[in-house]
Amino acid sequence: MAFRFANVSGRAALVDRDGRWYDLDKLSGGAVPADPMAAIAEAAALHRLDEQLASSEPDGQLAEASLGAPIPRPRNAFGVGLNYRPHAEEANMELPERPLVFGKFSSCIVGPTDDVELRSETADWEVELVVAIGTAGRDIPADSAWDHVLGLTIGQDISDRRLQFAAKPPHFDLGKSRDTYGPMGPVLVSTDSFADPTDLAISCQINGEPKQADRTTSLIFSVAELIEYLSGIVTLDVGDVIFTGTPAGVGAASQTYLAPGDVITSTIEGIGTMSNTCV
């Protein structure tokens, strides 16, 4: 069965269709570890345990829970730049012939309700579909790439534009890795939950005002192509994540940036909504 996975107060949990969460260690009688990074390695158990939710006692409501990132400590977190054509155009940059990949240092990852701590006046929003690897692999062909995906979640690839372009050539990695610049969540949704995981509406609002809206079918390099490309270079491990790129409508295009008090609302069809406040 398809599952929705969450990190509640640092412990792995499953979430039912009514937004109630169940502690996985308790639900599984200790078979699935409480640590979310260890729990995601038990994909078969997560699928099986989802069927038991209807006959189990929930531990709380997700809306009232203290949520961490569903994948709080990925070994590797990849980012992909300029992966939606209109965004490459608004950035006045050439369309990449190969995926433009940078590391998003995993120390920047925070939960779906955490604050984004602004450290400059050029911080920008970037809603992104985040892919979590569930089965490790190397040299994975595109046509079997989805078999290696555990699930999908929402990410914000918050980018300090001045820092990103402070060096020549630009160091995307540092500009996108300040502490708290990688919110993720609220839940990781198993791939089999989606009628078509390659075609999802994705959007971002700032203080309720629509800024970004597209569909993931607009990706220049698809999820499968990204996995083939990356796994030809780096062995992908369980819990590695890929921020797959952002649609048009970032602040840099109009020179408007995030300010303290701004609320970033990120939504992806079939996953949910994540809301982070800038401080």
Interface positions with Zn ion (CB under 5 A) = 126, 157, 246
Q: Which of 14, 158 has the CB closer to Zn ion?
A: 158
> Strands 272-277 and 209-215: what pairing?
unpaired
Helix (H, G, I), strand (E, B) or coil at 198: coil
Tell me the closest approach of the beta carbon of residue 233 to Zn ion, in angstroms.
Answer: 19
Tell me the closest approach of the beta carbon of residue 84 to Zn ion, in angstroms.
Answer: 10
Residue 150: phi and psi, rounded to 5, are -80, -45
Whole-number Å distance between alpha carbons of 161 and 176: 8
Q: Which of 23, 157 has the CB closer to Zn ion?
A: 157
Q: Which of 21, 102 has the CB closer to Zn ion?
A: 102
Q: Which of 14, 132 has the CB closer to Zn ion?
A: 132
In the complex, which residue's CB is closest to Zn ion?
157
End-to-end CA distance of the chain: 39
Q: Which of 81, 112 has the CB closer to Zn ion?
A: 81
Q: Which of 34, 252 has the CB closer to Zn ion?
A: 252
CA nearest neighbour of 108 among 119, 97, 98, 100: 119
Within the chain, residue ranges assigned H as helices are: 24-27, 36-39, 43-50, 85-90, 161-164, 172-175, 223-231
Q: Quick one: CA dihedral 100, 103, 108, 113, positive or negative?
A: positive
Q: Which residue carries 């994705």 as its tokens? A: 202
Tell me the closest approach of the beta carbon of residue 107 to Zn ion, in angstroms.
Answer: 17
CA nearest neighbour of 253 among 84, 83, 85, 89: 89
Whole-number Å distance between alpha carbons of 152 and 130: 6
Within 8 A by CB and 6+ apart from 144, the residues are none
Tell me the closest approach of the beta carbon of residue 255 to Zn ion, in angstroms.
Answer: 18
Tell me the closest approach of the beta carbon of residue 171 to Zn ion, in angstroms.
Answer: 14
Whole-number Å distance between alpha carbons of 191 and 148: 10
Tell me the closest approach of the beta carbon of residue 128 to Zn ion, in angstroms.
Answer: 6
Q: Which of 191, 212 has the CB closer to Zn ion?
A: 212
Tell me the closest approach of the beta carbon of residue 151 to Zn ion, in angstroms.
Answer: 20
